[in-house]
Amino acid sequence: MVLTRNDDYFKGGLPYLDRVIFKVIPQPSTAVLALEQGEADYLWTIPGPDIRRLQANPNIVLARAPAGPGGSFCIDTLIFNLRRPPFDRLEVRQAFAHAINRQQLLEQVYFNQGRIATGPIASTMAWAYTPDVTRYDHSPERAPALLDGAGYRPGPDGKRLKVVFVHASTYARTAEVIRDNLARVGVEVELATLEFNAAVERVFVRADFHLGIASYCNGPDPEIGVTRMYLSTNIKPIPFSNGAGYVNPRIDELFARAATTVDEGARAAMYHEIQRILTREVPYWWLIETEGYRAFRKEVRDLRIWAGDLLERAWREGTR
Partner 1 sequence: MGPYVLRRLLQIPPVILGLLVLNFVLIHLAPGDPLYFLVGEGGDESYYSAIRSRLGLDRPLAEQLVRYLAGVATGDLGRSIRHNEPVISLILGRVPATLLLTGTALAAATGVGVWLGTLSAARPGGLLDRLTNGVASVLAAVPSFWLGQLLLVSLAGWLGLFPVQGMVSARLASGGWALIIDVAHHLVLPASTLALLQIALIFRLTRQSVRETLVEEFIRTARAKGLSPRLILYRHALRNSLLPVVTVVGGHLGTLLAGAAVVEVVFAWPGLGRLLYDAILTRDYPVVLGIFLVVSVMMVLANLLTDLTYAYLDPRVRYA
Partner 2 sequence: MLTSTRGSVTPRVAARAHPQKAVSLGVVLLGVILVLAVAADLVAPGDPLRTVGPALRPPGPSYWLGTDDLGRDIFSMIVHGARTSLTVGAATALMAAVIGTLVGGISGYFSGAIDDALMRLTEFFQVTPRFFLATLAVVLFGPKLWLIVAVLGATFWPGPARILRSQVMALRNREFVVAARALGAPELYILVRHILPNALPPVVVAAGLQVGWAILTEASLSFLGLGDRNLPSWGQILSSAQPFMRTAWWLGFFPGLSLVATVFGANLLADWLNRQLDPRLRRGPEELG
Q: Where are the alpha helices (DSSP H) in the chain?
A: 28-36, 51-56, 90-99, 102-104, 143-149, 172-183, 196-200, 222-225, 249-260, 264-281
Q: Which of 39/190 has CB closer to partner 1?
A: 39
Q: Which of 201/312 has CB closer to partner 1?
A: 201
CB 74 within 8 A of CB 218: yes
- Using CA atoms, how far apart are residues 285 and 81, in angstroms rounded to an integer? 11
**Stretch of 8-16, 57-65, 68-76, 177-185 contacting partner 2, by CB under 8 A:** 177-185
Residues in contact with partner 1, shown as a per-residue x/- string from 251 to 270 under the rule CB under 8 A? --------------------
How many Cβ atoms are within 10 Å of 282's Cβ, its own excluded?
22
In whole angstroms, how close is the CB of 290 to partner 2 at the nearest point? Answer: 17
In whole angstroms, how close is the CB of 39 to partner 1 at the nearest point? Answer: 6
Interface with partner 2, residue 109, by CB under 8 A:
yes
Strands 74-80 and 300-301: unpaired
Interface with partner 2, residue 55, by CB under 8 A:
no
Which helix (H) or strand (E) is 297 found in, with range?
strand 292-297
Residue type, 293: Y
CB 213 within 8 A of CB 77: yes
DSSP, res 219 = -
Q: Which of 41/291 has CB closer to partner 1?
A: 41
In whole angstroms, how close is the CB of 138 to partner 2 at the nearest point? Answer: 13
Interface with partner 1, residue 240, by CB under 8 A:
yes
- Using CA atoms, how far apart are residues 9 and 91, in angstroms rounded to an integer? 58
How many Cβ atoms are within 10 Å of 250's Cβ, its own excluded?
10
Interface with partner 2, residue 66, by CB under 8 A:
no
Strands 284-290 and 292-297: unpaired
The binder of partner 1 chosen from 102, 202, 210, 294 (CB under 8 A): 202
- Using CA atoms, how far apart are residues 281 and 120, in angstroms rounded to an integer? 12
The binder of partner 1 chosen from 47, 48, 66, 71 (CB under 8 A): 71
Interface with partner 2, residue 50, by CB under 8 A:
yes
**Stretch of 8-16, 106-114, 270-278, 303-311 contacting partner 2, by CB under 8 A:** 106-114
- Using CA atoms, how far apart are residues 6 and 192, in angstroms rounded to an integer? 47
Residues in contact with partner 2, shown as a per-residue x/- string from 27 to 46 under the rule CB under 8 A? xxx-----------------
Q: Tell me how many residues contact partner 2 (CB under 8 A).
A: 29
The binder of partner 2 chosen from 25, 67, 116, 183 (CB under 8 A): 183
Residues that bind partner 2 (CB under 8 A): 27-29, 47-50, 52-53, 104, 107-109, 169, 172-173, 175-177, 179-180, 183, 190-195, 198
